[in-house]
Amino acid sequence: MQNVLLMIVLIPVIAALLILPLKARAHAITRSIGMLGSLLSALFALAAYIAFQRSDAAYQFVLSVPWATINNAFAGTPLTITFAFAVDGISLPLVMLTGIVSVMAALRSFRVTERVKAHYVWQMLLVSGLYGVFAAADLFTFFFFLEVTLVASFFLILIFGQERREYAAFKFLIYRGIASVFLLLGFVGLAYALANSATTVSASQYMAYGPNFMSLNLLQLLDESVKAPLALGAQTWLFFVFLFAVLIEEAFVPFHTWLIDTHEQSDTSTNMLIGGVLMKVGLYIMLRFVVSILPLALAAYSEWLAILGVISILYGAFAAIAARDWRRLIAFSGISHMGLVLLAIGSMHALGLQGAVFMLVSSGLLTALLFYTVGAQAERTGTYEIGKLGGLSKSLPVLSGVLLVAALGTVGLPGLSGFISEITLFISSFERFPVVSTLGTLGMILAALYLLFAMQRTTFGPAQGAAQEGQGIARDASVTEAIPLLVLVAFVIAIGVFPNILGVVVHPTVQALAGRIGG
Amino acid sequence: MALQPFLALGVILFGIGLYGALTKRNLIIVLISIEMMLNASNINLIAFSHFAVTPNANGQVFALFNIAIAAAEVAVGLAILLAFFRLRNSADVRDVNTMKW
Amino acid sequence: MLTFTQVWNALGPEIVLAIGGFVAMVYEFMVTGRAKQATPWIAVLSVLTAIPLAWSKLHAPLATYSIAVIAVDDFGTIFSLFILVSVLLVLLFAIASQARLKLAFEYAYLVLFATVGAMVICSALDLVTLYVGLELLSITTYVLVALHRKNVKSSEAGLKYLIIGSIASAIILYGLSFLYGVAGSTGLSRIATALQGGYGSEPGLVYLSIALILVGIFVKISAAPFHLWTADVYEGAPTPITAYLAVVSKGAVLGFLFRVIVWLFGAKLGEWFGLVGWIAIITMVIGNLGALSQRNIKRLLAYSSIGQAGYLLIPFSSLSSSTLASVMWQNLSSTVFYLFAYSFMTIGAFAVFSVVADASGSEDVHAFTGLSKRSPWLAGMMTLFLLSLSGLPLTAGFFGKFSIFLGALGAGQIWLGVVLFATSAIAFYYYFGIIRAMYGRTQEGDTPPVRSSPMQHVVVALCAIGTLWLGIFPGPVTDLLSNLHWFG
């Protein structure tokens, strides 16, 4: 089991390498290899999920390979960069989420008919990058995989997007490129500051760490940050560097425009991966680095997080009401829900953090589900515009039913995954920020409004416009299409009904994390 | 004689040379101006070599090298100028303008 | 009296190159027709001989091998190795594009002579040697730039380069003359003694001298605001020569900068840090912003190389702002590492560009349109070089920038590091603009197929191997660099 994370990350890359020499016309074999790679990786993720020691809050499946040493990096001591993987109760659910969504996206990509090879190669690289980001236990490893996702998504949008794909791809690249610059700055600053603070403590610590002082290894950094916490000044500027990077990564207001363009222009499987998984990375950074290593700054500025969160919740909700395109609506709804997570992190409470992780997973599944369904509908009706759709419940009953489940899950209907996430998250945030949280709940009420309204326009009522013309040829979901839908729905219901399948993994880690911030 | 007048001469020559090289339109004049800049250094070197605390020949040797190098530079310069002149029928700085963005 | 053995120990690689140059010259005079095509191979052969010779000089004891005018220290040797490797790639590149470019075969020995100059200025210990080396490099490159005598652009570029370069040389020489005046000697170590770790008895003259030398060098490495000549000269020169200017000339003059300034004013560099730091910042910003508006790929790469000069100035300014020896070693290592990375990715990018430009007869970005369909291999390689230039992980460029960043951080100059990465983010835009053309668009009408010779593939592949090797397994190189005794 030691190498399970390495396997998870490497399998998609191997699949991509196998696809590369194939003939451009060999669609069937390309698709099977892509599917097989995704499936195998997801199975390994499942195995890791099962083998994970639930009661243990520490990192597990630790694997560390030294990669390069820069001598004289810090005050005459060398810096060893490692490729390191490990998961804990926060990252493992996200690895699992990546597994589920990537398999569904690979199935969805069966519908791609042009440049199939390129599509699968980049998609496999994107999947590998996403796994790597969540499984990384080293700042360098993390950054490396983040850049892989950047490049792979760029190509997916650029080659397979719609009319304005070039614009969208470049916007994506520049925004996220700038975010990654700040992230790198934060990472090196973090390592540097911790190395600095460690030298000022005691000789015994020097003995404990040996001469290898500056480190990018997350486990070591966490250890150092407990033994020699950073001063508030260092924490504050690092906090703002990270916050700025996260605001862009997560497309929070006012940096949200790139996400809207990306979602409007990308094809369905890319949207599933970007909206379902990649958009969770920023908040994962928040949980992973800011909450655990910069607790003082977090405590000092938690109101900022809450307020920024609520701004995104409300802006996202209102913009979603105004949206006329399903993809736009989903994108804004996603921003709105990610704002909730920021609010929960601001609450600095174990329950809130648990709610945050639940929300990340639940929103990931639901976003992927929504994108899948509207993508399938658009394939039949030729449009994403809410106003042009109508009465699909008669012609496409399965798809419409799934869309209803996804919408209800997002709204937070009890019994589905959204509910449990929102309830835990709001309980803790109300305790700390009653006023701000009240505004936050308003966002959820608005979510019910815009989603159900759009639902109603699309599935019920008279068939009209494009839907009417398409009715003759429209066929409901085929078996290969129905599988991913049912699997995703099954997960959504499972988490909603048995929240403990996620909770037992998340809980100990979150408790330990909350201990650091005094929650 | 003191060192200062020689250095002053050097500065004047260098100044005239730099001014000419940057402002003159005729490429031949530009090349000559560059020569003046080089010769300003030679005057410096020879003056320093004579007025040094322990006078030595290093400066004069350096100056000799410079003269040889300057000759090579001008030879190459004139050759390139000739090639340019054949193509454009001009030796004016303002005609060096094919590439602009 | 010097014996031949002493000279050979100090200048072995240079002697081999000079002899190779003369042999190539005589051979080129004597034969006619197709036999002339062997001339560049003589040059390649002498470079291949010189590389192991230079390698064997690593870790040589300074006192034993050095002669009065040449220091045999690891700083000079590692720069020589960088120059030799780059020259080898440039020569192969020139041979590969010969069929199309029809360069006069003089370039073979001119490149060798220029290389001798480049190597001499990295290890010279005497003002006369330094200046002769610098001029040997400069004058031969003027000729190389203007090698296409029938081409207006080439002649113009040569003329421009000649005028700007000669003015810069004259300014440097004027600065050197004051150093001689203050110290009464042309030997660098004597001058250093006379300056007594400060500015000696005539601080005014020394200030003037440093300022003049710095200005001249900034012109030569095309640091802003002295960069205006760069784009024109790079555009007009034959592409292999452009690669030579961008890589070898720039690297060698950087070696000159380190050698003279660190050797003479090491103790006082802190006072100049602010100036050099600002020049580095301005250069990075102007280079990368200037590249945004370029349509011609050669000009785009020229502006990008201005930006890269800015990155390379960061270690220089950082090493001057701290007195810690370890900071100095780190900054020197990061300079050399980045130079190697820069060499591979730049020459590689120019090599792919020349193939593509030949196929479509245009130097515009549009030449790359739909390249992923016409030649997936070249498109993939170009993507690799561009990713490396923009500094994405697992390429040489990332690791180079990262270690420059660490050096700046170690010296406490975090702002330089911030600007480094911020301007790299700007650079994404134009590098990915080329990638967009290659992958995103398809060309209308009949697409001319991209014809490329095996030799061109060899050059591209060598550069790609270098880029990936330094990016994926930087360990051996960083170990090598950290074990060097830089200045003996």
Alpha carbons C87 and C114: distance in angstroms, whole number: 10
Alpha carbons A57 and C451: distance in angstroms, whole number: 59
SS3 assignment, position C239 = helix
CA angle C303, C304, C310 (to 5 degrees): 95
What spatial distance separates the first Cα and last Cα of chain B, rounded to whole Å? 54
CB contact, 8 Å: C162 with chain B? yes
pLDDT score, position A463: 66
Who among C131, C155, C171 is closest to B84 (CB)? Answer: C155
Contact check, Cβ <8 Å, B41/C162: no
Higher per-residue pLDDT: C451 or C379: C379
CA of A59, closest CA in chain C: separation in Å?
A: 25
Give the ipTM of the model, two decimals please: 0.95
Residue of C nearest to A186 (CA): C418
Alpha carbons C174 and C209: distance in angstroms, whole number: 8
Strand bridging mode A60-74 / A77-87: antiparallel
Contact check, Cβ <8 Å, B58/C186: yes
pLDDT score, position A153: 93
CA-closest candidate to residue A379, choices A457, A488, A452, A473: A473
Is residue B54 pLDDT above 50, yes or no? yes
For testing the chain C interface, which of B61, B73, B90 should be mutated: the one with the most C CBs within 10 Å?
Answer: B73
Mean pLDDT of all residues belonging to chain A = 86
pLDDT score, position A212: 47
Q: What is the dihedral of CA A114, A120, A126, A130, to 10 degrees?
A: 130
Higher per-residue pLDDT: C446 or A87: A87
Mean pLDDT of all residues belonging to chain C = 87
- Residues 6 or more apart whose CB falls under 8 angstroms from that of A454 comprise A326, A329, A386, A407
CA angle C99, C102, C106 (to 5 degrees): 125
User: Chain C partners of A159 at a C-beta cutoff of 8 Å?
Assistant: 439-440
Is residue A7 pLDDT above 80, yes or no? yes
CB contact, 8 Å: C292 with chain B? no
CA of C280, closest CA in chain B: separation in Å?
A: 24
pLDDT band at A211, cuts 50/70/90?
very low
Higher per-residue pLDDT: C304 or C61: C304
Q: Tell me the average pLDDT across C101-128.
A: 90
% of chain A residues with pLDDT over 90 = 35
Q: Tell me the average pLDDT across A200-212.
A: 50
Contact check, Cβ <8 Å, B44/C177: yes
Higher per-residue pLDDT: C412 or B87: B87
pLDDT score, position C33: 82
Q: Which architecture, in CATH terms, is B4-91? A: Orthogonal Bundle (1.10)
Residue of A nearest to C424 (CA): A181
Is residue A199 pLDDT above 70, yes or no? no
For testing the chain C interface, which of B45, B53, B90 should be mutated: the one with the most C CBs within 10 Å?
Answer: B45
Contact check, Cβ <8 Å, C166/B73: yes
Alpha carbons B65 and C482: distance in angstroms, whole number: 38
pLDDT one-digit tens code per residue, C429-484: 889 888 888 887 666 655 667 777 888 899 999 999 999 999 888 888 888 888 88
Who among C146, C160, C293 is closest to B96 (CB)? Answer: C160
Q: Tell me the average pLDDT across C241-251.
A: 94
pLDDT score, position A201: 47
pTM: 0.89
CB contact, 8 Å: C194 with chain B? no
CA angle C133, C137, C140 (to 5 degrees): 130
pLDDT one-digit tens code per residue, A8-48: 999 999 999 999 888 878 888 999 999 999 999 999 999 99
Q: Which of A6-20, A343-357, A455-469 has the lowest mean pLDDT?
A: A455-469
Domain edges within chain B: 4-91
Q: Which of A88-92, A388-392, A470-474, C113-117 has the lowest mean pLDDT?
A: A470-474
pLDDT one-digit tens code per residue, A333-351: 999 999 999 999 988 888 8
Helices marked H in A161-294: 165-199, 203-209, 218-227, 232-249, 257-265, 268-276, 281-285, 292-293
For testing the chain C interface, which of A69, A72, A151, A199 should be mutated: the one with the most C CBs within 10 Å?
Answer: A72
pLDDT score, position A513: 86
Domain count along chain A: 1
Higher per-residue pLDDT: A198 or A250: A250
CA of C262, closest CA in chain B: separation in Å?
A: 22
Is residue A282 pLDDT above 70, yes or no? yes
Higher per-residue pLDDT: C206 or C312: C312
User: Chain B partners of C173 at a C-beta cutoff of 8 Å?
Assistant: 38, 41, 66
Who among A158, A177, A189 is closest to C440 (CB)? Answer: A158
User: Chain C partners of B62 at a C-beta cutoff of 8 Å?
Assistant: 127-128, 131, 177, 180, 186
- Containing structural domain, residue A49: 4-516
User: Chain B partners of C150 at a C-beta cutoff of 8 Å?
Assistant: 87
Residue of C nearest to B40 (CA): C174
Is residue A205 pLDDT above 70, yes or no? no
Q: Which of A209-213, A308-312, C267-271, C389-393 has the lowest mean pLDDT?
A: A209-213
Alpha carbons C380 and C438: distance in angstroms, whole number: 9
A136 forms bridges with which residues in the sheet? A85
Who among C326, C417, C475 is closest to A76 (CB)? Answer: C326
CB burial of C264-286 (b: ≥16 within 10 Å; e: otherwise) equals bbbebbeebbeebbebbbbbbbb
Is residue A210 pLDDT above 70, yes or no? no
Alpha carbons B37 and C399: distance in angstroms, whole number: 43
Which chains, if any, share at least 3 CB pairs under 8 A with chain C? Answer: A, B
